[in-house]
Amino acid sequence: MKRLNLIVFLMVIATLIALLLMGFGTVPSTLALEAPPYYQTQWGSRGSGDGQFESPVKVAVDSSGYVYVVESFKNRIQKFNSNGAFVTKWGRYGFDGGQFQNPYGVAVDSSGNVYVADAGNRRIQKFDSNGVFITKWGGYGSGDDQFYSPMGVAVDSNGNVYVADSINRR
């Protein structure tokens, strides 16, 4: 268990360093992907419509180049192709499967399934790549399969899901 805690801690630190180096230390109203000087892409504008952002906090990219953006205060996930064209969105405020209360982290597995750390609902939710709800797990507490404030999620090549639960410090 101590080794798992160390691995999760190191993954969180590595992710934070990577995000800071990429310039995601602030909450922008546009999404910018860092690239070599000869090619740079950004998209979005301030707003709540499709392809617009009010509170983007995390991004994940799948093996096909699709970009998933978590908007915590809008309680939604937006999906874009690698050129920044809006593809789809899902989520809204609520407590049922497929609904969020301040989602914060996002990860994509090798099959294209999307995992969302739903901090306010104290759970992880799993969707297919089009936003169709598959399952959820977790709940309030500090025991096994319980969270207080899951803020980060990652999936390894074996399909193991790692969660950074900030308030529970694990």
pLDDT value at residue 37: 57
Please name which of 76, 79, 57 lies closest in space to residue 68, comparing C-alpha atoms.
Answer: 79
Contacts (Cβ under 8 Å, ≥6 apart) of 21: none
Question: What's this model's pTM, rounded to 2 decimal places?
Answer: 0.76
Q: Quick check: 59 pLDDT over 90?
A: yes
pLDDT value at residue 88: 97
pLDDT digits (tens, 9 = 90+) for 107-159: 999 999 999 999 999 999 999 999 999 999 988 888 888 787 889 999 999 99
Residue 43: in which H helix or E strand, if any? strand 41-43
pLDDT value at residue 25: 47
pLDDT value at residue 42: 80
- Nearest-angstrom CA–CA distance, 96 and 124: 12
Question: CB 40: neighbour CB atoms within 10 A?
Answer: 10
Q: Which residue has the tokens 């399909």?
A: 159
Q: Which residue has the tokens 């969105």?
A: 89
pLDDT value at residue 163: 85
pLDDT value at residue 135: 96
pLDDT value at residue 164: 86
pLDDT digits (tens, 9 = 90+) for 146-168: 787 889 999 999 999 998 887 76
Residue 21: in which H helix or E strand, if any? helix 2-22
DSSP state, residue 160: -
Nearest-5° Cα angle at 126, 123 to 131: 125
C-beta of residue 69 within 8 angstroms of C-beta of residue 104: no
pLDDT digits (tens, 9 = 90+) for 3-57: 555 565 555 565 655 555 555 444 455 555 555 555 557 888 899 999 999 989 9
Report the number of secondary-structure helices (H) and strands (E) in the chain: 1, 12
On the CB side of 91, CA atoms within 13 Å amount to 31
Three-state DSSP class for 111?
Answer: coil
